[in-house]
Amino acid sequence: MAISSCRSFSGYKPCKKFEICDSSCPHKDIPQSSLLVVHLGALGAVVRSTSLLKSIKRKYPSSMITWVTDAPAHHLLKDHPGIDRVLTTSEADLLQLSALEFEVAFVIDKSLKAVGVVKRTTVDQVFGFKVNTLNGAIVPATEAANELWNLGLDNRKKFFVNQKPETRLIAEALELPYQRDEYWLPLSSIETQQREHRRSQWLKDKKYIIGLNTGCATVIPYKKLTVEYHRKMIQALQAKFEDAQIVLLGGPEDTERNQQIAEGLSVISSQTTSGLRDGLVSVAACDIVITGDSLGMHMAISQRKEVIAWFGPTCAHEIDIYDRGAKILTQSPCAPCWKRACEKDIMCYDQVSLAEILNAVESSRTNCLFGGSASVDSLAEAL
């Protein structure tokens, strides 16, 4: 008799893991609980929340996990070894969700949309955030989420009092065991081959690769340096680190800008229009990544790169780079601010010390050449 409760059983086609579906199957895996993760938010934040999967598995060791996110973030989570089902907020996917039931839902976003996703299914218990149905306000689902919720309501606490990284705040808000877990976003075997091929092509006669992630999302455009600053940085890097290959990283919105940055300079421009997973492969091919607080930064953290991240409008203490690299803070006295618009004559991105970046690259270069960081592949194997 078919084992219909198995994690791999679909009910409409043969299983790929074993030709006979019965109790003799060596891959038989019966989950003991069904969990829902709802994180729709920014792409980088979704990458960061992959760190939660390890603590979820510790608390619910035989769980089946469904993750709902906004497109195109589902491409980043596709075929993830720790996620059983990835759905988007499309109506077709929400119809699938409505056919399921869950013991627990983790609502990470503080938004009506995220809470509305939960309303489309059946859930016994919610951690994270819920809604006051009277006025539509987002409130903590349990007392454990109070700290993270309150930080969003008080800029002084968020900017200057809190010292916890967001990874810890979210885990505690969801009542998950926090152990400073790494991001968990492994490459597939094919992507690993692509990374090595790309790395070989880029390195040539150089010893290591410095990736410059040049862009950011449009929500806070001041999280990226100017074209002129990037060109100045490249010239300084090449003068000081002759054994480094410089590669420009970015997405479709950065294509024209990267062309402007690269004009007349001996740099490699990575492909920017081949999708999120291809961008992840490019980041993984680098040794050091210099970046603003952006998706590229989170990708670099997920691939265990030496990350040199500069911060202007956002909070550096909320980001955990896991002791690999350095955080460079703007010298602007009004940072952080989280403002989406600014009219100051001298912007925070104009007040980022190039000398600090170069010093950080020197330290990371030493780690790459003589120390080395464990690869994300070894992390995946350990899990």
Q: What is the pLDDT of residues 304-345, one digit of tens each?
A: 999 999 999 999 999 999 999 999 999 998 899 888 888 887
Mean pLDDT of 162-182: 97
**Confidence check: pLDDT of 242 > 80:** yes
- Domains, in order of start, for the chain: 1-30 (no CATH), 33-173 (3.40.50.2000), 189-382 (3.40.50.2000)
Mean pLDDT of 48-59: 97
**Confidence check: pLDDT of 198 > 60:** yes
Query: Could you tell me the strand order of the sheet in which 137-140 lies?
Result: 85-87, 63-68, 33-38, 101-107, 122-132, 137-140
Which one has a higher pLDDT value, 99 or 383? 99
Q: In whole angstroms, what is the distance from residue 373 CA to residue 301 CA?
A: 12
Mean pLDDT of 283-291: 98
Q: In whole angstroms, what is the distance from residue 39 CA to residue 115 CA?
A: 10
Q: Are strands 137-140 and 122-132 parallel, antiparallel or unpaired?
A: antiparallel
Q: Supply 144's token pair.
A: 């454990």
Q: Supply 333's token pair.
A: 């006295």
Range of lowest pLDDT (5-19, 28-42, 236-250, 324-338): 5-19
**Confidence check: pLDDT of 79 > 60:** yes
Give residue 376's pLDDT. 44
Three-state secondary structure call for residue 334: coil
- Tens-place pLDDT, residues 216-238: 877 777 788 999 999 999 999 99
Give residue 17's pLDDT. 74
Q: Are strands 268-269 and 244-249 parallel, antiparallel or unpaired?
A: parallel
**Of 1-10, 22-31, 121-130, where does the model show the most confidence?**
121-130
Q: Which amino acid is at 55?
A: S
Give residue 350's pLDDT. 86
β-strand partners of 38: 68, 107
CB-CB contact of 184 with 379 (8 Å): yes
Q: In whole angstroms, what is the distance from residue 36 CA to residue 68 CA?
A: 8
User: Under 8 Å CB-to-CB from 173, ≥6 apart: which residues?
Assistant: 127, 128, 140, 144, 145, 147, 148, 149
Q: In whole angstroms, what is the distance from residue 204 CA to residue 55 CA?
A: 40
Give residue 382's pLDDT. 39
Give residue 347's pLDDT. 84
Q: Are strands 101-107 and 137-140 parallel, antiparallel or unpaired?
A: unpaired
Give residue 381's pLDDT. 42
Confidence category of residue 11, pLDDT binned at 50, 70, 90: low
Give residue 215's pLDDT. 85
Confidence category of residue 374, pLDDT binned at 50, 70, 90: very low
Three-state secondary structure call for residue 90: coil
**Confidence check: pLDDT of 24 > 70:** yes
Q: Among 201, 222, 213, which residue's Cα sits nearest to residue 296?
A: 213
Cis peptide before 333 (omega within 30 of 0): no
Which pTM was predicted? 0.92
Mean pLDDT of 142-158: 97
User: Under 8 Å CB-to-CB from 320, ≥6 apart: which residues?
Assistant: 165, 166, 167, 168, 180, 301
368 phi/psi in degrees, rounded to 5: -65, -45
Range of lowest pLDDT (22-26, 73-77, 104-108): 22-26
The mean pLDDT of the chain is 92
